[in-house]
Chains A and B, each alone.
Chain A
């Protein structure tokens, strides 16, 4: 029988993998995927909390679940915008490697 700790452990692992991807990978598309992974790690812990800390009437916490839907929606919008930016960036720089995208340095 899995407990809350198991879910949180998986969530933490997912977050760590996502963060590691953001920090370590060179390709901006992979970094973007890492970001999505981190968002979904948060979703997983929210759902787990909702299940393990039921409301007074015994049902799961609706707030947490609604919050998850919001995050999914926002993530979808973010992907749409983010991918468009990446495409525009590629068109101007002919690259998707972040080491080459450092023009904001002083």
Chain B
């Protein structure tokens, strides 16, 4: 074992497990689960081991695609602080979620298919983390998309699940198209796709600065799609159709985190592109605020968390845009991974206890029935809401501080969003766990098995403690801004207490939702606009093209000449008399005709 072989083992262990489950797993549930958890655990332990090793000497790189001198794409692995932290996060969360899945999926269909999908998903994500060039990252990026399609559409017999899988895939295509164009633009400018060489190339690039900005923003399009930023966020709430552990994995460590990780990876390149960080910050800040507003009026236990994820991703993206080091955003990614994963697993535990009822207005008073789930959920909730001394408090405040210093409007907007965050998560908490039970299922709910509760406990500890300075110091080198307005921190405390207090006041004994804001409940009608666009503009265009295909191409170009040739043939075949003398006569007459033309004309 050495630091140059371990990364390969980490990368390929889940793939091997996925293949093994695919070939053997359908006959045995314990084999599927055991192989998957074994692979994840091996990945996790090796990642932690690798984390404490010094950077490996020598490049981990094997030649892969070489087209002439211009396009050289190695299959290479980056081991630096960034990727080691990310490896630890991804593999730890994955191990816990895999374990939890054993309990959650016990009675579900497609057990082996599910675990094979999880392993493939983990493999793809690890590929993104370890990639040392754009092309490799893009390939794993697409693999994440493909495996998320498999997992979101796990209950593919349900139309809504199949549609959600398709939507996730197609919406991501839009962003990935920009990503690919951005990669091509950077390759065109620097002649390389390897991160370090692209950075060196961008430093000496002497073309127009606008070119770099456009290229960086095109690459950022990939993040908009994958990390569900406005306006491509619509797929993420719909991806709730997948099994809850998948949502948890998708929202915490893999998939959506990939977009932020990619930005952190190319952070030095972004810094060299004028105004690109500003645009990124604005997209992130607005996403953060509007997604938080959308979350306040949802009634599906998972959808609230989904909009919350979009909002938190907005913080991270804004962190990339405003902070001078990528670690600020990565810190929030790190803490968010734990508490959001925990919240989703808690929601999954509730959903199982409620016999797959997801409407929060049919729950209530679950605190007595599910005491452990309740405690873990509270830990995650406090971290998300930014309660002082929990992990979310440290990481979110740091981003807001930077935003206030750099772009004051965005800073205060995101501080306001922090208050809204506290409001919607406390709303969910009061309605689900407190008050009176609203249905029979809620009265007879029972605690989930240990295999589900224990992973949540581990995450709960991490959700509280991951942000404490003496722990976080081992993972990140953070920089705090100077000259933070003195008003900011009191304002943030007010926001937290105000949001939580308002939710408590409104929802403590609510039977139904006391406030109704259609604009928020309908997600600012953005889904409706897309629906309208697809239904009217795209379907209209498609029916026009279909008309053209049927009447112009099929009829005028294909059918009419075809029938004309057939008709000519029909007429001409009456000349085929079968009599050799008639043919000889035609031949002779033809010769006479040609001679006549040649001689007398």
Q: Which of the candidate stretches B212-220, B296-304, B529-537, B578-586 sits at the interface with the other chain?
A: B578-586
A22's partner among B573, B579, B584 (CB-CB below 8 A) is: B584
Residue B1, interface by CB 8 Å: no
Q: What is the interface of chain B mostly: helix, strand, loop, or mixed? A: helix
A105:B581 contact, CB within 8 angstroms: no
Residue B5 interfacial (CB < 8 Å): no
Which residues of the other chain, A, contact B584 by a CB distance below 8 angstroms?
22-23
Contact A23 B585 (CB under 8 A): yes
Q: How far is the CA of A23 from the CA of B579 in the complex (A)?
A: 11
Q: Does B57 contact A (CB under 8 A)?
A: no
Contacting pair B588 A19 (CB below 8 A): yes
**B515 on the interface (CB 8 Å rule)?**
no
Residues of chain B within 8 A of A103, CB atoms compared: 578
A-B CB contacts (within 8 Å), total count:
28
Q: Is B2 an interface residue (CB 8 A)?
A: no
B157 at interface (Cβ–Cβ under 8 A)?
A: no
Docked-complex contact B580 and A98, CB < 8 angstroms? yes
Q: Which of A61-106 touch B at CB < 8 Å?
A: 98-99, 101-106
Report yes or no: A22 in contact with B578, Cβ–Cβ below 8 A.
no
Rounded to whole angstroms, the CA-CA distance of A19 and B579 in the bound complex is 16
Q: Is the CB of A105 within 8 A of B580?
A: no
Q: Contact mask A11-33 → B, CB, 8 Å, 1/0?
A: 00000000100111000000100
Q: Say yes or no: is B471 at the interface (Cβ < 8 Å to chain A).
A: no
The residues of A that contact B474 with a CB separation of less than 8 Å are none
Question: Which residues of B sit under 8 angstroms from A23, Cβ to Cβ?
Answer: 581, 584-585, 588
**Which residue on chain A has the smallest CB distance to residue B583?**
A104
Contact B581–A104 (Cβ < 8 Å): no
Query: What's the Cα separation between A104 and B588 when bound, in Å?
Result: 20
Q: Could you tell me the distance in whole angstroms from the C-beta of A12 to the nearest C-beta in chain B?
A: 13
Quote the shortest CB–CB distance from B576 to chain A (angstroms): 5
A105–B578 touching, CB < 8 Å:
yes
Contact residues, B574-600 vs A (CB, 8 A): 576-581, 584-585, 588
The residues of A that contact B588 with a CB separation of less than 8 Å are 19, 23
* Contact A102/B573 with A23-B584, A23-B585 known, Cβ cut-off 8 Å: no
Interface residue total, chain B, C-beta cutoff 8 A = 10
Task: Kindly state the separation between the CA atoms of A98 and B579 in the bound complex, as whole angstroms.
Answer: 7
Check if A104 sits within 8 Å of B578, measured CB to CB: yes
Report whether B576 and A104 are in contact in the complex, using a CB–CB cutoff of 8 Å: yes
Nearest neighbor of A101 in chain B, beta-carbon distance: B580
Give the residues from 558 to 582 in chain B that come closer than 8 angstroms, CB to CB, to chain A.
573, 576-581
Chain A: which residue is nearest B585 at the CB level? A23
User: Are A102 and B581 closer than 8 Å at their CB atoms?
Assistant: no
Query: With a CB–CB cut-off of 8 A, which chain B residues contact A98?
Result: 579-581
Q: Measured between alpha carbons, how far is A104 from B579 in the docked complex, in Å?
A: 8
- Is there contact, CB below 8 Å, between B578 and A102? yes
What distance in Å separates the Cβ of A87 from its nearest Cβ neighbour in chain B? 17
**Alpha-carbon distance between A22 and B588 when the two chains are bound, in angstroms:** 10
| B580: chain A residues within 8 A (beta carbon) | 31, 98, 101
Within 8 Å by CB of B576, from A22, A24, A99, A106, lies A106
- 0 or 1 for each of B176-211: is its CB under 8 Å from A? (1 = yes): 000000000000000000000000000000000000
User: Least Cβ distance of B188 to chain A in Å?
Assistant: 62
Instruction: Give the shortest distance, in Å, between B331 (CB) and chain A (any CB).
Output: 84
Q: Which residues of B contact A106 (CB under 8 A)?
A: 573, 576
- Residues in A whose Cβ lies below 8 Å from that of B577: 102, 105
For A19, list chain B residues within 8 Å (CB).
Answer: 588
Query: Considering only CB atoms, which chain B residue lies closest to A26 in the complex?
Result: B581
Contacts of B578 in A (CB 8 A): 101-105
* Minimal Cβ-Cβ distance residue in A for B579: A102
- Cα A101 to Cα B577 in complex, Å, equals 11
Measured between beta carbons, the chain B residues less than 8 angstroms from A24 are 581
> B576 contacts A105, CB within 8 Å?
yes
**Contact partners of B585 in chain A: CB under 8 A:** 23
CA distance A101 to B581 in the complex (A): 11
Kindly list chain B residues whose C-beta atoms are within 8 Å of the C-beta of A22.
581, 584
CA distance A58 to B398 in the complex (A): 116
Task: Give bound CA distance, A10 to B470, whole Å.
Answer: 123
Question: In the complex, which residues of chain A have a beta carbon less than 8 angstroms from the beta carbon of B581?
Answer: 22-24, 31, 98
What are 13 contact pairs spanning A and B, CB under 8 A? Answer: A22-B581, A22-B584, A23-B585, A31-B580, A31-B581, A99-B579, A101-B578, A101-B580, A102-B578, A102-B579, A104-B576, A104-B578, A105-B577
Other A-B pairs, 7, CB within 8 Å; known A19-B588, A23-B588, A105-B578:
A22-B584, A23-B584, A23-B585, A98-B580, A101-B578, A102-B578, A104-B576
The 3 A-B pairs at the shortest CB distance, nearest first, are namely A105-B578, A102-B578, A104-B578
